[in-house]
Structure 1
Amino acid sequence: MDFHQLVVFTKVVEHKSFSKAAEEIFLSQSTVSSHIQSLEKMLNVKLFDRVGRENILTPHGERLYHWAQKLLLMKDEALLDLNQGMTEFRGVIRMAASSVPSQFILPKMVKQFRNEYPAATFNISQFPSRAVADKVLNGSVDFGVLGEKYENEKLEYFPLLKERLVLVTPLELKLKGKVQIQDVISYPFVMRHSDSGTNSIFERFLKKNGLPKDQLNIIAYTDSGQSLIQFVRQGIGISVMSEIAARDYADQNLVNLYSIEGFEEDRYFYLVYNLQKTLPLISRLFVNFATGNKGFHLVDKE
Structure 2
Amino acid sequence: MDIKQLEVFVAVAKHKSFSKAARELFLTQPTVSSHIQNLENEMQCVLLNRNNKTITLTDSGKVLYNHAIIILNDCKKALYDIKEYSGKISGALNLVCSSIPEAYILPKFLKTFCDEYPNITFTIDHCDSNLVVPEILSERVTFGIVGSKSKHPHIRYIDLINDELVLICPSKCEIKNENGYININELKDLIFIMRKEGSGTRNLIVNTLNSSSVPISTLNVRAHVESNNAIIEMVKNGLGCSFVSLISVKDMIERGEIKSYRIKNLKFERNFYFLFSKKKFFTPTEKKFLEYFSSFYNLGIEIGE
The aligned length equals 295
Answering whether residue 174 of structure 2 is matched by residue 171 of structure 1, we say: no
- The answer for the alignment partner of 1:216 in structure 2 is 219
- Measured in 2, the distance between the counterparts of 1:205 and 1:266 equals 9
User: What is the root-mean-square deviation of aligned Cα atoms in Å?
Assistant: 2.1
* 1:288 matched to 2:305: no
Q: What letter is aligned with 1:194?
A: E
Tell me if the contact between 1:128 and 1:223 (Cα under 8 Å) persists in the aligned partners.
no
Pick from 242, 247, 250: which aligns with 1:244?
Answer: 247
Report the equivalent of 2:33.
Answer: 33
Residue 64 (structure 1) shift: 1.2
Provide the secondary structure at the position in 2 that maps to 1:190. strand
In structure 2, distance between residues paired with 1:87 and 1:199: 45
Q: Distance in 2 between matches of 1:25 and 1:140?
A: 13
Is contact 1:87-1:118 (8 Å) kept? no
Identify the residue that residue 91 of structure 2 maps to in structure 1.
Answer: 91
- The residue that corresponds to 1:192 in the other structure is 195
Query: Contact (CA 8 Å) 2:187, 2:219: kept in 1 or not?
Result: no
Tell me the CA shift for residue 87 of structure 1. 6.2
Distance 2:126 2:54 in 1: 22
For residues 105 and 62 of structure 2, what CA distance do their matches in structure 1 show?
Answer: 35
Cα displacement string for residues 175-216 of structure 1 (whole angstroms, at most 9, x for unaligned residues): 432122222233111111221111111222113323322111
User: For 1:126-154, what per-residue CA distance to the aligned partner results, in whole angstroms no more than 9, with x for missing partners?
Assistant: 11111122322333322211111011111
Which whole-Å CA distance do the structure 1 matches of 2:289 and 2:174 have between them? Answer: 43
Q: After TM superposition, give the deviation of residue 232 of structure 1 in Å.
A: 0.7
Q: Which moved more, 1:228-237 or 1:164-173?
A: 228-237
What TM-score do you get using the length of structure 2 for normalisation?
0.89
1:206 and 1:238, CA in 2 relative to 1: closer, same or farther beyond 3 A? same
1:262 aligns with 2:271: no
Assess if the C-alpha contact under 8 Å between 1:160 and 1:290 holds in 2. no
In structure 2, relative to structure 1, the CA distance for the partners of 1:32 and 1:101 (3 Å cut) is same
What's the CA shift string for 1:204-240, capped at 9, x where partnerless? 2113323322111111111100111122112111101
1:253 and 1:211 map into 2 onto residues whose CA distance is: 28
Residues 227, 26 of structure 1: CA spacing in aligned structure 2 closer, same or farther, 3 A cutoff?
same
Report SS of the residue matched to 2:55. strand
Provide structure 1 residue ranges, at least 5 long, that are not aligned to the other structure.
Answer: 298-302
The answer for the alignment partner of 1:277 in structure 2 is 280
For the 8 Å contact 1:162–1:268, the answer to whether it is kept is yes
Q: CA deviation at 1:278?
A: 3.0
Identity %: 34
- SS state of the match for residue 198, structure 2? coil
Q: How far apart in 1 are the matches of 2:25 and 2:251?
A: 37
| Whole-angstrom CA distance in 1 between matches of 2:254 and 2:224 | 25
- What is the letter of the counterpart of residue 128 of structure 1? D
Amino acid at match of 2:135: K
Unaligned stretches of 5+ residues in structure 2: 299-305
Question: Distance in 1 between the 2:37 and 2:279 partners?
Answer: 28
Alpha-carbon distance in structure 2 between the residues aligned to 1:200 and 1:92: 32
Residue 152 of structure 1 aligns with which residue?
Answer: 152
How has the CA–CA distance of structure 1 residues 199 and 4 changed in structure 2, closer, same or farther, with 3 Å as cutoff?
A: same
Q: 1:139 to 1:82 in 2, by over 3 A?
A: closer
Give the structure-1-normalised TM-score. Answer: 0.90
